């Protein structure tokens, strides 16, 4: 019998990746509006009950980091209240819930990768709303896994890799921040990790060690300018023209929301408890760039 996983969202990077990477013996039910509207948390429980899942995965979120500064109530409703509703629905159904969270729950002031038990201190409305979601999930059910990840990119939706390739079509040089450090994480790798965690949680329902907070990002670390250079190195290798990267400071590119200078996550607990290790960011970046370029070339024909 297939493992039924109900996933909130439809067009987000992670849910698109999950739908693409569904393993044998797993069924993914992506629930979207109007049946489930995270801006209206009351719709969450009925939609999830109707799916009759074995696991609930909450990937949908308000992810417009800068816009959240001017829409704090909406961000809190989607990322905080709706996450709690999803977890309460899971508790009522007697199934585990997996909540996707973010490095933005930290202030980025440490000089080492963050561990799960480090103090949180979000700098932005987005980070505060995601932390509220974590707290709501933990309060609703003990049968949860909160997976914090960072710097998500993919061939889907909007993300840094797609933005760089678009800008590179028109510019010879791009200014990119070089004083924020993290681990760019491919949504496909996140999807694979979620499936592994879901199988562990359903296969060992009475194992409390599989529950709680886990960090889940790519191996290796980089600043944004490193990532941009890697993108254009791969594009040039595949026949594209060179694009220069000008390394700039965060203060040179002001944004409404403050970002943590250190977004590195220590993922040792996930590897130890769940046996899940994500690949190095450079390994997963290259095929994503190639895929986007191939799609771009098709569109230009």
268-280: string of b/e by CB count within 10 Å (b at 16+)? ebbeebbebbbbe
Task: Tell me the Ramachandran region of residue 94: left when phi exceeds 0, alpha when psi lies from -120 to 50, beta otherwise.
Answer: left
Q: Residue 70 has which token pair?
A: 């001017």
Q: What is the SS3 assignment for 184?
A: coil
Q: Residue 171 has which token pair?
A: 């510019």
Sequence-separated contacts (24+) of 251-257 with Cβ below 8 Å: 252/175, 252/177, 253/175, 253/177, 255/65, 255/66, 256/66, 256/67, 256/69, 256/70, 257/65, 257/66, 257/68, 257/69, 257/123, 257/124, 257/125, 257/126
> Is 126 an annotated catalytic residue?
yes
Number of alpha helices (DSSP H) and beta strands (DSSP E) in the chain: 10, 12
Please say whether the dihedral angle defined by the alpha carbons of residues 244, 247, 250 and 251, taken in this order, is positive or negative: negative
Q: Residue 26 has which token pair?
A: 């797993």
Q: Pairing mode, if any, of strands 185-186 and 152-153?
A: parallel
**Cα separation of 125 and 132, whole Å?**
10
Query: H-helix or E-strand containing 275?
Result: none
Among candidate residues 104, 114, 126, 153, the one labeled active-site is 126
Q: Residue 240, Cα to own-chain centre: how many angstroms?
A: 29
Q: Which residues are catalytic?
A: 126
């Amino acid at each position: 019998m297939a493992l039924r996983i109900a996933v909130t969202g439809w067009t987000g990077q992670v849910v698109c990746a999950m739908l693409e990477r569904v393993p044998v013996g797993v069924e993914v039910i992506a629930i979207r509006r109007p049946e489930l509207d995270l801006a209206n948390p009351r719709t969450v429980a009925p939609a999830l009950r109707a799916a009759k899942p074995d696991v609930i995965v909450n990937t949908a979120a308000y992810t417009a980091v800068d816009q959240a500064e001017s829409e704090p109530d909406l961000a809190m409703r989607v990322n905080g209240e709706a996450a709690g509703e999803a977890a309460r629905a899971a508790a009522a159904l007697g199934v585990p819930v997996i909540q996707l969270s973010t490095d933005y729950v930290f202030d980025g002031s440490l000089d080492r990768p963050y561990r799960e038990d480090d103090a949180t201190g979000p700098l932005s409305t987005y980070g505060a709303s995601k932390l509220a979601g974590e707290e709501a999930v933990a309060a609703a059910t003990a049968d949860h896994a909160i997976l914090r990840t960072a710097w998500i990119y993919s061939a889907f939706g909007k993300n840094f890799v797609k933005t760089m390739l678009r800008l590179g079509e028109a510019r010879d040089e791009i200014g990119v921040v070089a004083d924020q450090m993290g681990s760019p994480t491919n949504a496909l790798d996140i999807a694979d990790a979620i499936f592994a965690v879901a199988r562990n949680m359903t296969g060992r329902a009475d194992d409390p060690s599989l529950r709680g907070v886990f960090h889940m990002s790519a191996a290796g670390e980089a600043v944004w300018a490193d990532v941009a250079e890697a993108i254009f190195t791969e594009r040039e290798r595949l026949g594209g023209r060179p694009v220069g990267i000008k390394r700039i400071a965060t203060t040179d590119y002001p944004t409404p929301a403050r970002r943590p200078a250190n977004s590195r996550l220590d993922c040792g607990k996930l590897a130890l408890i769940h046996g899940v290790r994500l690949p190095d960011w450079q390994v997963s970046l290259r095929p994503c760039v190639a895929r986007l370029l191939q799609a771009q070339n098709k569109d230009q024909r």
